[in-house]
């Protein structure tokens, strides 16, 4: 029987957790606990559609582990999302929050739906009913959702409002990634792109690459890819290629980002951009460049195409864009990979800062938020790099080692109830 990509993704995370636990002699009880999600809620719920009909949707909310703090993780709206995919993403969140050393566990949620095919009022009714169904898990002290693919700040505002109606008072800290007007944090929109930029700068420094002379190719022109492009360009990197789901554009002399953003807004696509050659997503991944940022979807670098990668550094903006086989090839070829659980933690770090601000009802300016992000990520990067050098392992294994050590220590200190 063939395994689905969600199943494959969950197996990949579990295998790596397993291997690293064995390598570090981590307690068996800890390893076993991390093989499964602690709580898995599946809901089937009705939504009244604009045409007057009723449709039943399926959604999930899972907490993978909450030893180090409340569950934390996004909600995905996608027609093909599966329970296993959500399990894999929840497990990655447990590792991410541990690498960044923020006081959270890992969680994730999803609804199987095509948000683009729903009207705003259908989307609102679906979101409010899904929130009501998962209210037994979520809360500012238990499990805090955030946006992921297919969801956005407006959806976080509806979740916060629905949850607050149940409590009878406003609970801004129940979600993060909210609009500023209802308790969002400054800096959230660009946060994940910012952590990609910081990771690229720190990698360039480590490898002796001059940012002012370095070239960058980015796959994906959404929240992560577009913000990373803007911030990397601001640091002096030359953006030579970028793509979306329809394909990419390439100019070795550099692409004008403002023009690209304007064209995407106007036509919905970047294809045909002036002074640039049209390329496929496959070609983009194989371009000669210093830094490659896969910031679209999972499993983009696989066994078949990875030997052709010419970048010196890969910054994983997306979750799981490199398969384990591809990872080995990149390692053999000496390509420096900053793994997703480090490179794209900007979103969850600023989510943490939003939650802290929401709990205190005290909001900071953008410089203060970005300063906290910079400090947390720079420390995490230095710890992972140091472990990688000391233990002679790649950055992904080093990040897993740090996360699993923190999880094992926390589990041992808390013990097992009863």
Interface positions with ligand NAD (CB under 6 A): 148-149, 192, 219-225, 243-245, 281, 295-297, 317-319, 344, 347
> Residues 134, 137, 139, 145: is their CA dihedral positive or negative?
negative
| Edge-to-edge strand list for the sheet holding 336-338 | 277-279, 247-250, 238-244, 215-219, 291-294, 313-315, 336-338
CB 370 within 8 A of CB 349: no
State how far the Cα of 363 lies from the Cα of 412, in Å rounded to an integer.
35
CB 38 within 8 A of CB 116: no
- Please, what is the minimum distance in Å from the beta carbon of residue 32 to ligand NAD? 27
Closer residue to ligand NAD (CB): 172 or 220 = 220
Q: In terms of CB distance, is 86 or 313 closer to ligand NAD?
A: 86
Backbone angles phi, psi at 155, to 5 degrees: -65, -35
Q: How far is the CB of 281 from ligand NAD (least distance, A)?
A: 4
Q: Is the CB of 244 or the CB of 394 nearer to ligand NAD?
A: 244
Residue 248 CB, shortest distance to ligand NAD, in Å, is 8
Q: Which residues contact 150 (CB under 8 A, 6 or more apart)?
A: 76, 77, 78, 113, 115
The answer to whether 20 and 397 are in contact (CB under 8 A) is yes
Compute the least distance from the CB of residue 31 to ligand NAD, in Å. Answer: 26
What does each C-alpha distance from 100 to 225, 290, 307, 380 come to in angstroms? 21, 26, 31, 6
Nearer to ligand NAD, 6 or 225 (CB): 225
Rounded Cα gap, residues 86 and 353, in angstroms? 24
> Which one, 224 or 369, has the nearer CB to ligand NAD?
224
Q: Is 108 a catalytic residue?
A: yes
- What's the min distance (Å) between Cβ of 317 and ligand NAD? 6
Q: Which of 72, 96, 108, 178 is catalytic?
A: 108
Instruction: Enumerate the β-bridge partners of residue 249.
Output: 242, 278
- Residue in the shown chain whose Cβ atom is closest to ligand NAD: 222
Using CA atoms, how far apart are residues 404 and 418, in angstroms rounded to an integer? 23
Which residue, 257 or 297, has its beta carbon nearer to ligand NAD? Answer: 297
In a 10 Å sphere around its CB, with 0-12 CB exposed, 13-18 middle and 19+ buried, how is residue 414 labelled?
A: exposed
**67 vs 192, beta carbon nearer ligand NAD:** 192
Q: Give 55-81 as a DSSP string.
A: EEEEEEEEEEE-TTSSEEEEEEEETT-
Euclidean distance between CA atoms 124 and 160, whole angstroms? 12
Q: What ranges make up the beta strands (E) of 88-142? A: 106-112
Please, which residue, 297 or 410, has the CB nearer to ligand NAD? 297
Measured CA to CA, the distance from residue 144 to residue 141 in angstroms comes to: 8
Cα within 13 Å of Cα(98), Cβ side: 29
Cα-Cα-Cα-Cα dihedral sign, residues 179, 180, 183, 188: positive
Enzyme catalytic residues: 108
């Amino acid at each position: 029987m063939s395994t689905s990509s969600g199943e494959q993704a969950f197996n990949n995370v579990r295998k790596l957790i397993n291997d690293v636990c064995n390598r570090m002699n981590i307690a068996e009880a800890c390893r076993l606990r991390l093989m499964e999600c602690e709580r898995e809620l599946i809901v089937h719920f009705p939504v009244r559609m604009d045409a007057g009909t009723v449709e039943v949707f399926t959604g999930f909310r899972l907490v993978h582990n909450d030893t180090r703090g409340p569950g934390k993780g996004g909600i995905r709206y996608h027609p093909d999302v599966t329970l296993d995919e959500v399990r894999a993403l929840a497990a990655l969140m447990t590792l991410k929050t541990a690498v960044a050393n923020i006081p959270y566990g890992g969680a994730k949620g999803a609804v199987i739906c095509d948000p683009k095919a729903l009207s705003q009022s259908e989307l609102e009714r679906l979101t409010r009913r899904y929130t009501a169904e998962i209210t037994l898990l979520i809360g500012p002290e238990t499990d805090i959702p955030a946006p992921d693919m297919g969801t956005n700040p407006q959806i976080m505002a509806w979740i916060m409002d629905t949850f607050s109606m149940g409590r009878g008072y406003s609970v801004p800290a129940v979600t993060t990634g909210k609009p500023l007007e209802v308790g969002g944090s400054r800096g959230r929109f660009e946060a994940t792109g910012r952590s990609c930029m910081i990771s690229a700068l720190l990698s360039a420094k480590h490898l002796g690459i001059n940012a002012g002379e370095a070239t960058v190719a980015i796959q994906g022109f959404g929240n992560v890819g577009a913000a990373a492009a803007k911030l990397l360009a601001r640091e002096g990197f030359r953006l030579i290629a970028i793509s979306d789901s329809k394909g990419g554009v390439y100019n070795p002399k550099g692409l004008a980002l403002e023009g690209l953003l304007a064209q995407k807004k106007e036509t919905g696509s970047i294809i045909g951009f002036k002074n640039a050659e049209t390329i496929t997503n496959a070609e983009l991944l194989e371009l000669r460049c210093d830094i490659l940022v896969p910031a679209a979807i999972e499993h983009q670098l696989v066994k078949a195409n990875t030997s052709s990668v010419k970048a010196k550094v890969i910054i994983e903006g997306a979750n799981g864009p490199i398969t384990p086989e591809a990872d080995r090839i990149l390692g053999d070829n000496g390509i420096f990979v900053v793994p997703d659980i480090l490179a794209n933690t900007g979103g969850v770090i600023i989510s943490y800062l939003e939650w802290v601000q929401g709990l205190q009802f005290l909001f900071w300016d953008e410089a203060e938020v970005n300063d906290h992000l910079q400090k947390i990520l720079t420390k995490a990067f230095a710890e992972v790099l140091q472990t990688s050098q000391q233990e002679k392992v790649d950055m992904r294994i080093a990040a897993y080692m740090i996360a699993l050590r923190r999880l094992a220590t926390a589990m041992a200190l808390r013990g097992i109830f009863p």
